[in-house]
Amino acid sequence: MKKSVGIIYKYDHSFAKEGAYNLKTWFEKRGIKAFLMEMPKEDSPNLHIENKLILPENIEWLIVLGGDGTLLGAARKMGIYGIPILGVNLGGLGFLTEISYNQLYDTVELMIQNRLAIEKRTMLESKVERNGIEVFRFSVLNDVVINKRTLARIIDLEVFIDNEFLTIFRADGLIISTPTGSTAYNLSAGGPIIYPTVDAFVINPICPFTLSNRPIIIPDTSKIEIRLGQKSDESVVLTLDGQIGFNLRHTDKVIIYKSPYVIKLIKPHKYNYFHILRTKLKWGGTTYNGRDTQGDD
């Protein structure tokens, strides 16, 4: 059976589009069928956009040209089918899109020879119950966030872990993050970095009214239930991976737990997570005992 690959490139990005078409030609010269797709634009975080298959689900690999946002969308739409994903960073921070464009062809050559490792990443599943009826369900790779549209106001959020009451967070919002997402919004809000394969989630309040409310790390086997306080109004929004949104009402329950899906990320040659942290976060020095710690790019 002929091998095949999917190539998804960033929306409205001419360099990504050109690179995708060049890569398609490269694959087909090697007898590998290549399917191209521009990542669909998700116009507003306030719209509920379903996960929809955008390429054949029986492809061997998926290559994403863009940034972490493009990869997150591709993971939700295609990665849930177990297709290994290689992320190519075309600018920006890029914790998920780990290789640069000038590394692309050498890396893809190793990929088709099955010489690159694959790392599994946990996803979160969230659902909303309204008056006892499920009205929304979605799986994400990075995080689930509850916050208010009106920045000057705070929100009361009652949080339960495995049906046990944790606390009421009075804050601008709440982030529930996977280890993969710990370097995204969670990090910006002062949360901890978690190694990507650790079996845990982070609950992190955004600018809490009570300074003793701190981030907490829980097992990824936990079920998190969040209830909106009675003072909440309909300006509260549930945001998923920073891209998909759903408007909440004060009677809603948000239930979050480990998704049955996992995302498979193809790791670059000589992959080193701590090198990525040093590089992306610009942590102090690149040498140790006179030895260069940068590694091969």
Q: Would you state the pLDDT for residue 282?
A: 81
Helix and strand element counts for the chain (H, E): 5, 19
Q: Domain residue spans in the chain?
A: 4-116, 123-260
Is 62 or 280 the better-scoring residue by pLDDT?
Answer: 62
The stretch 125-152 carries a mean pLDDT of 91
End-to-end CA distance of the chain: 34
Given this model, what pLDDT does residue 93 score?
A: 66
67 neighbors 75 (Cβ within 8 angstroms)? no
Task: Choose between 65 and 293: higher pLDDT.
Answer: 65
Q: Are 59 and 4 in contact (CB under 8 A)?
A: yes
At 9 the pLDDT is 94
- pLDDT of 296: 43
Write the burial class of residue 45 (CB in 10 Å: 0-12 exposed, 13-18 middle, 19+ buried): middle
Residue 53: predicted pLDDT: 56
Q: How far apart are CA 107 and CA 100, in angstroms?
A: 10
What pLDDT digit, counting tens, does each position of 140-155 carry?
999 999 998 776 578 8
Q: Write down the residue that tokens 């078409």 correspond to.
A: 21
The predicted structure's pLDDT at residue 267 = 92
Q: Fold for 123-260, please state it.
A: Tumour Suppressor Smad4 (2.60.200)
- For residue range 185-241, what is the model confidence (pLDDT) as tens digits? 999 999 999 999 999 999 999 999 888 889 999 999 999 999 987 655 558 999 999
Residue 142 token pair:
């990075």
Catalytic residue among 68, 143, 172, 241: 68
Known active-site residue 68: yes
pLDDT digits (tens, 9 = 90+) for 24-63: 999 999 999 999 999 877 644 444 444 555 788 889 999 9
* pLDDT at residue 98, rounded to an integer: 79
The one-character DSSP state at 43 is: -
pLDDT of residue 42: 60
> Which CATH fold would you assign to the domain 4-116?
Rossmann fold (3.40.50)
Please give the pLDDT value at position 57: 81
Spatial separation of the C-alpha atoms in residues 121 and 40, rounded to whole Å = 23
